């Protein structure tokens, strides 16, 4: 699946859709594909503050455990309850219905553009 | 292990089917084609086709072949009837497990040993080492042999409708002379478009199913013929990811997880595989007779709640005491709760006992349970 050009990316395979001071966050199709079928998602609580680069959640497949890294520092303002109830959304629509959290950003590290991320994953 | 990946004779077939690949014992093998959960459910409800050509086939022939295997392996392989197969163990002198394997008796003086891919060379070396004094020939035929497994309730129907696949004339001399009446852990010689195929009613998924050995040149044609027969019978290509969840549900050990060089068979519940009653010496006998310490860890099944799965190497606790370690674990796709196998202190191994697994910093209760977790309903 192509990496949408309007999104920003991290080397830990998160994507961000930035809208002013806030962002929607998910994991990329590449990461979802590598994990296999996602069967369990654990997300941070609404209101919790997160620091860029730290582990804030878990994405488990039948085979392994993937970690969700905070792609920026800030506060969690919304979590995707639909993906908690139906973890397969991460595989089915990683850049859409499979989004994980929304955050209000206080500090944003350097992020990758889609072409740089595509080059990183070699796909 | 060589740095250059090795490829199955079916690699091009897998690529055309859109497989994702993983390194398994030096081989690039399909981990999944699309969804490992869908593949898992297909094997439980219809059928799946696996390429397991990375596994090792070692032919044992000669007048002393049976006696040699009785000495070299833990089981009494000379007692097999022609066509019969048996699960056995290759032990070292200390009683540790070099490999777990399946052995088929193919003739009066011909047995076939099937070893795990990662243990091919240690197994061949150990077998060769043990030939002294026996009139026997050990031949590693792994590179020339492809292995395809068809597993699931529709497996029989699929094989019966595979164009070009039929039992060989030789098979009709046997009492178990049809695929339908072939018993679990028996085999029949067959042909596919004139080429020899060994069909074993064996497998590693907990389902009815077959494993088909064929020379590498004809493997792709056989795979494709099976796929054609399976098209209307729910057959899907299945990868290593679902193979692992299937075998775990069936409580089957995996070398490198439940079995290794420092684990005695009795600790893994495989005491009965070691034929102490057979005559004569065999490698590992003295160690097996000596037994293990009373507090040696034992393999148990564990069942948890919720969705968070214990994984290999996670620690097991009873109160504040560390009492074991997980060897395999997953959220069971069939049962929909977490299942795991673990080596634990015998003091906590009683069925029904509740112990805690440290799942990345959180201790969650797991109940000791009998293996297997899942058994297919038999007719």
In a domain, A114, yes or no: no
Residue B71 pLDDT: 98
Q: Is B331 part of the contact surface with chain A (CB cutoff 8 Å)?
A: yes
- Whether A98 is in a domain gets the answer yes
Residue of A42, A62, A65 lying closest to B241 (CB–CB) = A62
Give the mutation candidate from B31, B34, B241 for the A interface (greatest A CB count, under 10 A).
B241
| pLDDT score of B288 more than 90 | yes
Query: What total number of domains does chain A contain?
Result: 1
pLDDT at residue B4, as a whole number: 84
| B-interface mutation test, from A29, A35, A37, most B Cβ less than 10 A away | A37
Domain that holds residue A40: 8-109
A56 part of a folded domain? yes
pLDDT at B256 over 70: yes
Residue B41 DSSP SS3:
helix
User: Between chains, do B360 and A40 touch, taking CB under 8 Å as contact?
Assistant: no
Does a structural domain hold residue A76?
yes
Q: Is A92 on the interface with B (CB under 8 A)?
A: no
Is B244 in Cβ contact with A63 (below 8 Å)? yes
Which tokens in the block code for residue B276? 């102490």
Residue-wise pLDDT tens digits, B290-347: 999 999 999 999 999 999 999 999 999 999 999 999 999 999 999 999 999 999 999 9
Instruction: Note whether A7 and A16 are within 8 A (CB).
Output: yes
**In B116-237, which residue ranges form alpha helices assigned H by DSSP?**
120-129, 155-160, 219-230
How big is the CA angle at B202 (ends B225 and B115), to the nearest 5 degrees? 100
Arithmetic mean of pLDDT, B347-352: 98
What spatial distance separates the first Cα and last Cα of chain B, rounded to whole Å? Answer: 44
Mutate to test the interface with A, among B246, B360, B364 (most CBs of A within 10 A): B360
Q: Which residues of B touch A39 (CB under 8 A)?
A: 37, 307, 331, 333
Question: What ipTM was assigned to the predicted interfaces of this complex?
Answer: 0.85
SS3 label, residue B92: coil
Which pLDDT does position B290 carry in this prediction? 96
Nearest-by-Cβ selection for B37 from A58, A62, A64? A62
User: Is residue A14 a part of any domain in this protein?
Assistant: yes
Helix (H, G, I), strand (E, B), or coil: what is residue B305? coil
For residue B176, give how far its alpha carbon lies from the nearest alpha carbon of chain A (Å).
Answer: 39
Residue A69 lies in a domain: yes
Element (H, E) at B43: helix B36-45
Q: What is the pLDDT of residues B100-157, one digit of tens each?
A: 999 999 999 999 999 999 999 999 999 999 999 999 999 999 999 999 999 999 999 9
A3 CA to chain B: closest CA distance, Å? 19
* CA–CA dist A9, A112 (Å, integer): 5
Residue B169 reports pLDDT greater than 60: yes
State the smallest CA–CA distance between residue B37 and chain A in angstroms: 6
Residue A49 in domain: yes
pTM of the model: 0.93
In a domain, A79, yes or no: yes
Binding-site residues of B for substrate, in ranges, read: 211
Binned at pLDDT 50, 70 and 90, residue B174 comes out as low
pLDDT for the residue A116: 95
CATH number at residue A90: 2.40.50.100
Cβ distance B241 to B78 under 8 Å? no
A65 Cβ under 8 Å from any chain B Cβ:
yes
pLDDT band at residue B175 using 50, 70 and 90 as cut-offs: low
**Closest in B241, B307, B360 to A63, CB measured:** B241
Q: For residue B176, what pLDDT is reported?
A: 55
Residues of chain B with pLDDT > 90: what percent?
95
**pLDDT, position A12:** 92
- Spell out which residues of chain B touch residue A42, defining contact as CB-CB under 8 Å: 308
Q: Is the pLDDT of residue B1 over 80?
A: no
What domains lie within chain B, and their CATH numbers?
Answer: 6-52+144-248 (3.30.1360.120), 56-138 (3.30.70.1400), 293-378 (2.40.30.110)
Q: Which two structure tokens, joined as six digits, stand for B152?
A: 């699931």
Parts of chain A with a pLDDT under 50: none
Q: What is the mean pLDDT of residues B164-189?
A: 85
B18: left (phi over 0), alpha (psi -120 to 50) or beta: left
Q: Grade residue B379 by pLDDT with cuts at 50, 70 and 90.
A: low
Q: Whole-number mean pLDDT of chain B?
A: 96
């Amino acid at each position: 699946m192509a990496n949408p050009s309007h999104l920003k990316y991290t080397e830990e395979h998160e994507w961000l859709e930035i809208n002013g001071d806030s962002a929607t966050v998910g994991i990329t199709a590449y990461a979802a594909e590598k994990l296999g079928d996602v069967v369990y998602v654990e997300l941070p609580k609404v209101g919790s503050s997160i620091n860029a680069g730290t582990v804030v959640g878990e994405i488990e497949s039948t085979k392994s455990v993937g970690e969700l890294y905070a792609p920026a520092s800030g506060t969690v303002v919304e979590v995707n309850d639909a993906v908690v109830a139906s973890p397969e959304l991460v595989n089915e629509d990683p850049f859409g219905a499979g989004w994980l959290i929304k955050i209000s950003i206080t500090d944003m590290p350097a992020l990758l553009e889609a072409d740089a991320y595509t080059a990183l994953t070699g796909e | 292990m060589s740095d250059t990946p090795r490829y199955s004779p079916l690699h091009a077939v897998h690529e055309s089917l859109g497989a994702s690949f993983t390194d398994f014992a030096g081989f690039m093998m399909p981990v999944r084609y699309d969804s490992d959960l869908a593949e898992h459910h297909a094997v439980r409800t219809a059928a799946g086709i696996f390429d397991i050509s990375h596994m090792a086939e070692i032919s044992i022939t000669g007048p002393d072949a049976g006696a040699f295997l009785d000495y070299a392996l833990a089981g009494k392989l000379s007692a097999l009837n022609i066509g019969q197969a048996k699960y056995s163990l290759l032990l070292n002198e200390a009683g540790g497990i070099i490999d777990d394997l399946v052995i088929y008796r193919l003739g009066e003086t011909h047995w076939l040993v099937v070893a795990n891919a990662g243990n091919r060379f240690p197994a061949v070396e150990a077998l060769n080492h043990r030939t002294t004094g026996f009139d026997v020939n050990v031949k590693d035929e792994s590179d020339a042999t492809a292995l395809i497994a068809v597993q699931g309730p529709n497996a029989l129907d699929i094989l019966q409708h595979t164009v070009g696949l039929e039992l060989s004339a030789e098979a009709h001399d046997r009492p178990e002379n049809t695929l339908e009446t072939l018993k679990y852990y028996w085999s029949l010689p067959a042909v596919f478009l004139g080429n020899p195929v060994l069909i074993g009613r064996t497998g590693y998924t907990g389902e009815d199913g077959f494993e088909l050995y064929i020379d590498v040149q004809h493997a792709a044609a056989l795979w494709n013929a099976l796929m054609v027969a399976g098209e209307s019978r729910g057959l899907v290509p299945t990868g290593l990811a679902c193979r692992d969840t299937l075998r775990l549900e069936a409580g089957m050990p995996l070398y490198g997880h439940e079995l290794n060089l420092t684990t005695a068979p009795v600790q893994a519940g495989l005491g009965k595989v070691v034929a102490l009653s057979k005559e004569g010496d065999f490698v590992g006998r003295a160690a097996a007779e000596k037994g293990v310490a009373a507090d040696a860890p034992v393999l148990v099944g564990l069942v948890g709640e919720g969705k968070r799965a214990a994984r290999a190497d996670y620690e097991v606790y009873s109160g504040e005491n560390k009492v074991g370690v997980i060897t395999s674990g997953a959220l069971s796709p069939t049962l929909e709760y977490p299942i795991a196998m673990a080596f634990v202190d015998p003091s906590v191994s009683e069925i029904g006992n509740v112990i805690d697994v440290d799942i990345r910093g959180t201790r969650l209760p797991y109940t000791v349970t009998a293996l297997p977790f899942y058994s297919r309903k038999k007719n």
